Amino acid sequence: LGSDDNPRVFFDVDIGGERVGRIVLELFADIVPKTAENFRALCTGEKGTGSTTGKPLHFKGCPFHRIIKKFMIQGGDFSNQNGTGGKSIYGEKFEDENFHYKHDREGLLSMANAGPNSSNSSFGWETCGIWSSHKRARCGKDA
């Protein structure tokens, strides 16, 4: 999976104000370039603030709002911080690119969505190899 030319991003993870580690992810820009660019730019915060929320388009300070042990971790809702919000760098939502990779191993990163063409900033990171068979664009993996 992946390519040496794909971008890598990271999350520094804090619990209770204490740094506990860093998650490094390779983004599949070779397979889903628009999705990977959305995720990369939300990691850097380089796109400024959202036009509808006025909030920074950035994952910094955004919690993992749903953690299910031995299953998955969800995050990316920087607007509401509970899984009900989120924005993309392209606007409210953007279209699905493809579903090249299947959820067949732990460490895969996917955009969470509410149906076709509804990706935004919300994502799921698989901690086992049997996540949902729903249509979600796989946009990266742990590096």
CA angle centred on 133, ends 82 and 11, rounded to 5°: 45
How many Å apart are CA 57 and CA 39, to the nearest integer? 10
The structural domains of the chain, with segments of one domain joined by +, span: 8-142
pLDDT in tens, 50-100: 887 788 999 999 999 999 888 889 999 999 999 999 999 998 899 988 776
Q: Report which of 73, 51, 52 is spatially closest to residue 62, judged by C-alpha positions.
A: 73
Secondary structure letter of residue 43 according to DSSP: H
How many Å apart are CA 27 and CA 114, to the nearest integer? 22
pLDDT greater at residue 103 or residue 70 = 70
How many Å apart are CA 130 and CA 93, to the nearest integer? 26
Which CATH number fits the domain 8-142, given the four candidates 2.40.100.10, 3.40.50.450, 2.70.98.90, 1.10.645.10? Answer: 2.40.100.10
pLDDT at 135: 47
How many Å apart are CA 38 and CA 106, to the nearest integer? 22
Strand ranges across the sheet with 66-68? 8-15, 18-27, 138-142, 108-111, 123-126, 72-75, 66-68
pLDDT in tens, 29-56: 999 999 999 999 999 999 999 887 788 9
DSSP annotation string for 60-116: TT----EEETTTEEEE--TTTSSSS---BTTBS-B------S-S-STTEEEE--SST
pLDDT over threshold 70, residue 132:
no
pLDDT over threshold 80, residue 104:
no
pTM to 2 decimal places: 0.86
pLDDT over threshold 50, residue 122:
yes
Tokens at 50, concatenated:
């959202």
pLDDT at 97: 86
